Structure 1
Amino acid sequence: MTAVGAARTSSTFALYAPLKFTIVYLTLTLALAIWGPVDYYMFPVGKTALFMFAVMVAIGFGYTYGIATGVKSAYRASTVNNLFVRRLFDLSLAISIVALLVSIGSSSLSGQLNTDISAIGDAYTAGYENYERNSGSYSLIFIIYSLSLPFNFMAMILGLYYFFQFDRFRQFLIVSFMLSTLLFYVVGSGKQKQLGDVLIYLFAIAALKYGVRRKPIKLKWIVLGTTVAIVGIMIFVAVLAQRYSVLGVDIDNINQRVNNRLYFDTNHPIFKIFGMDYGLNLSMFLSYL
C-alpha cells in the first residue's frame, strides 16, 4: 500500500471512528447483558437484541448520511471564536461553579461533607439517612444539583471539546471545576455517577476529535486513554466496595439483599479470575454499563 493509500485509509477510519466506537460500546453492553456475570429475571433477549440492532442501524444511517451530505463542514465552522458558543460556555461554567460552591458550603455547614477517602461508603449512607422515597421533601443540594445539570453538561462538553482553544484562565476553571466536582460528589458524598459522566464525556470528545482530525492516533494517546479507563474502573469498583461494606452486602447475601430481579452468577469467569470479593464489585460495575 502506498503512502497516499495508507493516509486515505487512516483518514476514512478516523472519519467513522465515533460511529465504530458507539457500535462497539452498544455491542459490549448487549453482550454483558446476555453473557455477563449478572442474570436478569425474565430478560427478553430476542426483543432486546432486535431493539439494539435497530438502534445501531439508525445511528449508522444517521451518521453516514451526515457525512455524505456535508454536515461535517458546518460542524467545522462552529469554533470557540463563535460569540454564541463562547457566551454559552461562560454562562454555563459560571452557573455550574456557583452551584457547586453553594452545594459544598451547604454540605459543610450541615456536617455532611466527607473528607476521608476511606469513609466514602459512610458518606453515601449518611446522605440517605432518614430518607423516605416520595416523601415530598428534598435536600438543598439535590435541588441545586438538579437545576444545574444542563449547565454542568454544557460547561463540560464545550470545555473539553474547545479546551485547547481557550485561554489559560478558562482552562484552569474547567480543570478546577471538573476535579472539584469529582472530589465533592465521589469523596464528599460517596457517589460515582459524576465520575462516570466525566469518563463518558472524555471518551466521547476524544472520539469526535479523532473523527474530525482524520489523523492516526499517536501511541501516547492510546496509552493515556487506556490508563484513564483502567484507573476509572478501579475507582468505581473501590467506591462500590466501600458502599457494600457499610451496607453489609457481600457475596454470601448479594442475591438476597439486591433487587430480586437480579442474580449474580458466582460461577461466571469474572469471579474465577478476580475472586469473589473483587468480582462482586466488578460485576456490579459492569451491570451499570
Structure 2
Amino acid sequence: MKIFSYRYLPLNIYVGYSGFVLLSLIAGPIKYKDLNYSVLASFLFGLVFLFVLGYFFGARGDYRKFSIYDRSISYQRIIRIFQILLIFGVFSSIVQWVSFFISGGELSLSDIGGNYVKGYDGYERGQAVVDFIYVANIFSQAVVALVLLFSFYYFKVMGGLAKISFLFVLATYLLINVVGTGKQKYLGDFVVFSTFCMLINFASEGRRFRLRTLGVAVAALCVVFLLFIEILRQRYLAAGIGLDNIYEKVHPLISWDESSIVFGLIGSDYALALGIFLGYFSNGLYGLYLSLTLPFEWSYFVGNSYSLGRIVEIFLSSDGFILENTYPYRVGETYGWGFDKWHSMFAWLASDITFVGVLLLSPLFAFVYARLWLQAIKATNPFSGPLFIYLSLGLVFSYANNQIMHGLSGVIVLMTLVGGWLFSRNLPCIKLLECERSRCCEVIE
C-alpha cells in the first residue's frame, strides 16, 4: 500500500491540514480562556483516526489514470442541465453588476477594507426581510455555486462559449464579492474549488509531481496567503482596530499573547492580520471545546444548519424551537461565545446526533469521500467530481464553521449534488473505454 500516492492524496491533505489547524491553535497569538487542550485533542484525534480508517476502506478497488475523453462522456450526460445553470448564472452575474453600480459600489484594491465595513454598517443577524428579492438571491447564489463547481470540473471539455461564460461568472464572483465588498469567503471558495479540481486532473493524467510543479504550487500558495493577509489588514485598519486597542475590541474569552513569534517577525498592522487569520482556524475549535462541556439537547435533525433551523421555526411559528437546542446557541447562553462567533461544523452536527454520533459518522463520511475521489478521477458519475470538490470545501472549513450548510443556498447546493449523484447511474469503466474506442463521445468543440 503506497500511502503517498494519488489514491490517498485527499487523506494526506486532510491529515496534514488537521495538524496545521492544531498548530495554529497552540502556537498562534490568540489564546482562549480555560481551554482544556487534552479534552479537545482527545476528541479530534479520535475523529481523525476514524476518518483515516473509513477512507482506507473506501479507497480500495481499481485505480488507474483515464483520458480526457472519459470526462467528456460524463459531460454529455449532464450538458442540458449545465447549459440551463450557465444561462441563469450569466443572467445572475449581469444583475449583480447592475445592482452593484446602482448602489454606488466601487472596485478599489486599496479600499477593500472600507467596502467591507460599509457593507456591514447597521447589520443585525437574523433581521433580514424575507421577500422575493431575498429568496431570489438565495437561489441565485446556489446557481452560481453550481455553475462554478461543474465548470471547474468540466472546463477542459467545455465549448468555447461555455468557457467564456464561466469566466464571466467567475470574474463577477470574485470582483464584486472580494474586491467590491471585502468578503474573504469567496476567495477561499475559489482557492478550494480550483485546488481540488487541479488535483483531480493531475490524478486522472497520472502526472508526476516535479520540483517545478511544487515550486509553482508554493508560489501560488504564498500569493493567496498574502492576499488574505492584505484583505484582513485593510478591514481592521478601516474599522480602526490595531494592536494598540485590540483589548478594547476583543471578546472577553480571548486574550493576545504579545510574546508570540508573529509579533516579532512582521510589522504591527500585518501581525494583527496574521494573528486574526490564524484565529480563523482556531476560533471554531474553541466553540467546539465549549460544546463538549455541555449536555446533549436534541434539535430534531435540522439543527445542523442555522438557516434550515430558522426555516423550520418560521414554518412552525415557533422562534427558538430548533436553534435554542443547538450547541452553538447554548454555548452562547452559558459562556458568552454566541452565534456571532465561529463554531466547528462538528458542534452543529452534534446538535442532531450527539458527539458520539459525530465520531461514528466520521468513518462513514470518509468512506463515501474516498469513493467520490475515485469516481471523480474515472468520471464514472457526472456528479461525483463537483460533489467531491464541494465536500472538500466543507472539510477545509469543518474545524472553523459549518460552511456548506450554514446558509440556505449552501444547503440547496449540497442537496442538488447529492441527489444528482444518487440518481445518476455510475457508468462502468469498461463502458467508458468502449465509448472512447467507438468515438461515441468527443470533446466539445
Normalising by structure 1, we get a TM-score of 0.84
Aligned with 1:242 (options 213, 234, 238): 234
Of residues 149, 168, 178, the one that matches 1:157 is 149
Q: Write out aligned runs for 1:203-218 (5 A).
A: 203-218=195-210
Match of 1:110 among 97, 100, 103: 103
Match 1:195 to one of 180, 187, 195: 187
2:65, 2:203 within 8 Å by CA — same for their partners in 1?
Answer: no
CA-CA distance at 1:265 after TM superposition:
1.6
Structure 1 pair 134–197 and aligned structure 2 pair: CA distance change class (3 A): same
Structure 1 residue 84: deviation in Å?
Answer: 3.6
Q: Deviations over 1:147-179 (max 9, x none)?
A: 233333322222222222222322222233222
2:45 pairs with 53, 78, 83, which one?
A: 53
| Structure having greater relative contact order (Cα 8 Å, sep ≥ 6) | 1
**Aligned equivalent of 2:297:** none
Of 147, 164, 174, the residue aligned with 1:172 is 164
CA RMSD of aligned residues (A): 2.9
Q: For residue 148 of structure 1, what is the aligned residue in structure 2?
A: 140
Amino acid at match of 1:65: F
CA contact (8 A) 2:65 2:204 kept: no
Q: Structure 2: which 5+ residue stretches go unaligned?
A: 282-445
Name the amino acid aligned to 1:280: L
1:19-38 counterparts in 2 under 5 A? 19-38=11-30
- The aligned amino acid for 1:134 is G
Offset of 1:65 from its aligned partner?
Answer: 1.6
Match of 1:93 among 86, 105, 125: 86
Could you list the per-position Cα deviations for residues 65-121 of structure 1 after superposition, in whole angstroms to 9, with x for gaps in the alignment?
A: 2221448899x997243234333433333333322322221121122x122222212
The equivalent residue for 1:4 is none
How does the TM-score come out when normalised to structure 2?
0.56
1:250 shift after superposition: 0.1
**Equivalent in 222, 226, 237 of residue 218 of structure 2:** 226
Pair 1:54–1:141, CA change in 2 (3 A): farther
List runs of 5+ in structure 1 lacking aligned partners: 1-7
Name which of 104, 108, 120 aligns with 2:112: 120
| Contact 1:106–1:141 (Cα < 8 Å) also in 2 | no
Deviation at 1:138, TM superposition (A): 6.5
Match of 2:250 among 243, 249, 258: 258
Aligned AA for 1:99? S
Distance 1:156 1:42, change over 3 A: farther
Farther-moved stretch of structure 1 (26-35 vs 84-93): 84-93
Counterpart CA distance in 2 for 1:45 and 1:170 is 50
Aligned AA (1:226): V
- The answer to which of 82-91 and 238-247 deviates more is 82-91
Structure 2 CA distance for partners of 1:143 and 1:22, relative to 1, 3 Å: same
> Are residues 1:282 and 2:274 paired?
yes
CA contact (8 A) 1:271 1:279 kept: yes
Alpha-carbon distance change, 223 to 32 in structure 1, aligned in 2, over 3 angstroms: same
- 1:277 shift after superposition: 1.8
Task: State which drifts further: 134-143 or 195-204.
Answer: 134-143
> What's 1:5 paired with?
none
- The 4+ residue runs of structure 1 with deviation greater than 6 A are 71-74, 138-142
Q: Comparing 156-165 with 187-196, which one deviates more in the overlay?
A: 156-165
Q: Aligned in 2, Cα 1:269/1:14: closer, same or farther, shift over 3 Å?
A: same
Render the CA deviation track for 1:18-54: whole Å, top value 9, x for unaligned. Answer: 2101110111112211222211223342232223223
1:267-278 to 2 correspondences below 5 Å: 267-278=259-270
Retained in 2: the 8 A contact 1:120–1:242?
A: yes
Residue aligned with 1:162, SS:
helix
Aligned-residue offset at 1:59? 2.8
What secondary structure does 1:81 align onto? helix
CA 1:72–1:164 in structure 2 vs 1: closer, same or farther (change >3 Å)? same
Equivalent pair of 1:14/1:212 in contact (CA under 8 Å): no
Aligned pair count?
279
Paired AA for residue 99 in structure 2: S
Cα distance, 1:92–1:25 mapped onto 2, change above 3 Å: farther
CA pair 106-123 structure 1, distance change in 2 beyond 3 A: same
CA distance in 2, matches of 1:16, 1:116: 42
Q: Deviations over 1:256-288 (max 9, x none)?
A: 213222222221111111232211101111222
**Does the 8 Å contact 2:65/2:206 carry over to 1?**
no
**Once the two structures are superposed, what CA deviation does each residue of 1:195-218 show, in whole Å capped at 9, x if it has no partner?**
011111122223333344443123
Task: Please say if residues 80 and 86 of structure 1, whose CA atoms lie closer than 8 Å, have aligned partners that are also in contact.
Answer: no
